[in-house]
Structure 1
Amino acid sequence: MVTTSHTATHAAQQAGEATFDRVSWIRVSSVVLPLATPISDAKVLTGRQKPMTEVAFLFVELATEEGHQGIGFSYSKRAGGPGQFAHAQEIAPTLLGEDPSDIGKIWTKLVWAGASVGRSGLSTQAVAAFDIALWDLKAKRAGLPLAKLLGAHRDTVRCYNTSGGFLHTPTEQVLENATASLASGIGGIKIKVGQPDGKEDLRRLTAVREHLGDEVPLMVDANQQWDRPTAQRMGRAFEEFGLVWIEEPLDAYDAPGHAALAASLDTPVATGEMLASVAEHWELIRHNAADIIQPDAPRIGGITQFLKLATLAEQHHLQLAPHFAMEIHLHLAAAYPQEPWVEHFDWLEPLFNERLQISDGRMRVSARPGLGITLSEQARAWTRAKAEFGAR
């Protein structure tokens, strides 16, 4: 483990009378979460990727001169974690001395600190952890859950489970997992599809729908593994199952293909999780390429960027179903005008001391201020490296 320390310098512009506080201390940590079972979706079965055995997290912890604190995180699956951590170390000193309320200004400053490596992808995913920590701090300082600070439209959000339906899991176990999820209060079930033999997808989906009955919301996710003709054929075959959506049927950047598919099917098309900026999502929106947009706040640069995208999505009457990171996305979904969905994964639970409450098919916004999470001792134990800047 490598730890570095820097003395805070007054690098920010001269404060105006509206500035009451400044960022004085930052810690960035690389935490690797091991997965109990190697995870496989269609990308593994088609040979594009190896099974996933761990998830790398970038955590940012902030403190101010007045004693306020915030926490945020980003993540990477399979590769990229060390790169996010390295970039975070490079740009972190830029934040020292800044007014933590000036989140939009700080986002721009952090992005331009590393602009030569671009304004999407790994660089802005590193920025996201700082941005999320600043929003957490702001809500904590106000004594409000983040959803309430943003302006919640609801105190609970529909939720569905994904982690029980991966392709490495035998069908019988998928059925057992679905039963357990519904019994725990989760409202919908998503399973993975996109196998090399589409008949296997149909057999698996038939078994799940018969097991659940017609009333339980059911989604499928192909993880970008179909070409256009296959997506069209499978989409038509899936119509009889009454799905809430078909997710990522095509390559994430094929906006025209998604648009043609969405126009031809009764089943809604959902996509967006793999895109790494608001600009990339705008390509989906302007092509009418999705009925349901699935942004991931850590991937697109944080909460500041998510809110910009949410405004675009609302103006185009899109449904919202954020990807992964339910600890963050619960709050953002609660603040979206149209009824959204939040994706339930239990993978991240060992990282935090708190648990999200679920009942009657919905995830509940807690009364805890900010994101409502604190790092567990297990997360500290899984820390591979950390760096500190400034002084507490």
Structure 2
Amino acid sequence: MRITAFESLRLDLPFDDLYTGPRHKPRGWTQFDHVLLRLTDDAGHEGWGEAFAFACPAATEAVLRDMVRPRVLNREISDIAAFMQWLQLELHIQGRYGITQFALSGLDIALWDLAGQRAGQSISRLLGGHGQNGRWRESIPAYASLVRYGAPGPVAAMAAQAAAEGYQCVKLHEITYEPIAAARTALGPDIKLITDVNCAWSREEAEAMLPRMKALDLYWVEEPIFPPEDYETHAALAERHGVALAAGENACTAKEFERLSANLAFPQPSVVKLGGICEFIKTVRHAASLGRSVMPHSPYFGPGYWATLQLAAHCEAVAQFEFLYVKPERWIGLDMPLPQNGSIRIPDAPGLGFRPDPETLSRFRVS
């Protein structure tokens, strides 16, 4: 396929965090930054991608525009994996982590969507295997990933609401004991509970908190300390305190995940950050060879959401889907595959199965 058009689109999309009760402080996070990518080929097919852009949309879009676009436009691409490997080599001097990989992730997703559109198959089927069916499953269990509310009352209320909607697993983003304990009380012993610390604890705080997390029977604790790539220290903490630890949302490339997966219970690749679908598949294969269950990082609502679902259909080792438990003012895609009773049906339309909502693009696009 020859790429004849390359367009990046930036969206600022307000969302509601669903809590209606009293708050001890104002909301801090009120909108999503999105950078989408639309490719067109010489037959008129369109492919959509998403590059990670939370708080960095201008930088991500600049890399797509200035570094990626000149190397893609008017190029004939027959082997996506080989092309993406070449592009990683071309741009490695600009960094193997961060903004460069975010942009490459968006490109990779868009190329696979375009390939699926051309073939008339969903990406999971296009990838093949499993008797040429390409799909291990038609739906995936989802867990409710709550934003940080910072106080026991809101956390308990929102955890209980998610459980009442059928979620069997709830993730918090709380860093103090009282809100986490309140969630456990609200959920009871049968619903799995997680907290994502986002690297907020010192080593000493982690040593003090992890025994308390074990007493609350947390399914895992995510990124308890900084830096998140100190996997050896994470592994030592997990062994000493008997608590499963997870990480990976900040890791890029399958090579980095080789070290991560060897040290942590639950690798968490993010398809819009680590390098796209090609790197995600290599990551999952290696994790599966070590007996790890993969828990993708996926708090997105653009093509990255659909890409994660396609990979969940294709990769047996993907165990759950992270659904950010909020409601955007409008969905980015038409026919949004939302959780029902804690599970999401995986689209089987060509490519990602993603079709953008023109009204959303028009209302929330940033010039």
Instruction: State TM-score, norm by structure 1.
Output: 0.81
Alignment of 1:61-76 (within 5 A): 61-76=38-53
Query: Alpha-carbon deviation of 1:36?
Result: 4.4
Counterpart selection for 2:281 from 291, 304, 307: 307
Rounded Cα–Cα distance in structure 2 between residues aligned with 1:191 and 1:106: 38
SS at 1:177 equivalent: helix
Query: Alpha-carbon deviation of 1:365?
Result: 0.5
Rounded Cα–Cα distance in structure 2 between residues aligned with 1:334 and 1:265: 34
Amino acid at match of 1:208: A
| Structure 1: gaps (5+ residues) | 1-20, 40-44, 196-200, 386-392
Structure 1 residues 223 and 95: alpha-carbon distance in aligned structure 2, compared to 1, 3 A threshold: same
Q: Confirm whether residue 327 of structure 1 aligns to residue 306 of structure 2.
A: yes
Q: Confirm whether residue 209 of structure 1 aligns to residue 184 of structure 2.
A: yes
After superposition, what is the alpha-carbon deviation per residue over 1:91-142, rounded to whole angstroms, capped at 9, x for unaligned? 2132123344421232134334434312321112111111101111222233
Amino acid at match of 2:148: F
Rounded Cα–Cα distance in structure 1 between residues aligned with 2:5 and 2:86: 17
Amino acid at match of 1:316: L
Counterpart selection for 1:84 from 40, 48, 60: 60
After superposition, what is the alpha-carbon deviation per residue over 1:172-224, rounded to whole angstroms, capped at 9, x for unaligned? 333332333234343311112223xxxxx1x2222222221211121111111
The share of aligned pairs that are identical, in percent, is: 26
Alignment of 1:80-229 (within 5 A): 80-90=56-66, 91-150=68-127, 151-163=134-146, 165-168=147-150, 170-195=151-176, 201=177, 203-229=178-204
Amino acid at match of 1:23: I
Structure 1 residues 84 and 135: alpha-carbon distance in aligned structure 2, compared to 1, 3 A threshold: same
Q: Is the 8 A contact 1:29 1:60 kept in 2?
A: yes
| Structure 2: gaps (5+ residues) | 20-24, 128-133
Q: Is the 8 A contact 1:73 1:129 kept in 2?
A: yes
Rounded Cα–Cα distance in structure 1 between residues aligned with 2:186 and 2:260: 34
SS at 2:204 equivalent: helix
Q: Is the 8 A contact 1:292 1:320 kept in 2?
A: yes
Amino acid at match of 2:84: W
Rounded Cα–Cα distance in structure 2 between residues aligned with 1:217 and 1:101: 44
Amino acid at match of 1:329: T
Deviates more, 1:95-104 or 1:23-32: 95-104
Rounded Cα–Cα distance in structure 1 between residues aligned with 2:327 and 2:243: 29
Query: Alpha-carbon deviation of 1:37?
Result: 6.3
Q: Is the 8 A contact 2:18 2:327 kept in 1?
A: no
- In the other structure, the counterpart of 2:130 is none
Rounded Cα–Cα distance in structure 1 between residues aligned with 2:254 and 2:204: 28
Rounded Cα–Cα distance in structure 2 between residues aligned with 1:101 and 1:54: 38
SS at 2:158 equivalent: helix
SS at 2:37 equivalent: strand
Task: Kindly tell me the number of residue pairs found equivalent between the two proteins.
Answer: 345
- In the other structure, the counterpart of 1:26 is 6
Query: Alpha-carbon deviation of 1:291?
Result: 0.2
Rounded Cα–Cα distance in structure 1 between residues aligned with 2:182 and 2:162: 17
SS at 2:334 equivalent: coil
Rounded Cα–Cα distance in structure 1 between residues aligned with 2:30 and 2:154: 20
Mark the structure with the bigger radius of gyration: 1
SS at 1:194 equivalent: coil
Amino acid at match of 1:361: G
- In the other structure, the counterpart of 1:271 is 247
Rounded Cα–Cα distance in structure 2 between residues aligned with 1:23 and 1:347: 34
Structure number with the bigger relative contact order (C-alpha 8 A, sep ≥ 6) is 1
SS at 1:369 equivalent: coil
Rounded Cα–Cα distance in structure 2 between residues aligned with 1:329 and 1:241: 30
Rounded Cα–Cα distance in structure 1 between residues aligned with 2:181 and 2:96: 43
Counterpart selection for 2:267 from 293, 301, 304: 293
Query: Alpha-carbon deviation of 1:35?
Result: 4.1
Counterpart selection for 2:322 from 337, 340, 343: 343
Q: Is the 8 A contact 1:145 1:370 kept in 2?
A: yes
Q: Confirm whether residue 384 of structure 1 aligns to residue 366 of structure 2.
A: yes
Q: Is the 8 A contact 1:184 1:358 kept in 2?
A: no
Rounded Cα–Cα distance in structure 2 between residues aligned with 1:338 and 1:284: 16
Amino acid at match of 1:321: M
Rounded Cα–Cα distance in structure 2 between residues aligned with 1:262 and 1:160: 22
Structure 1 residues 301 and 380: alpha-carbon distance in aligned structure 2, compared to 1, 3 A threshold: farther
Query: Alpha-carbon deviation of 1:290?
Result: 0.7
- In the other structure, the counterpart of 1:283 is 259
Amino acid at match of 1:182: A
Rounded Cα–Cα distance in structure 2 between residues aligned with 1:291 and 1:69: 38
Amino acid at match of 1:241: L
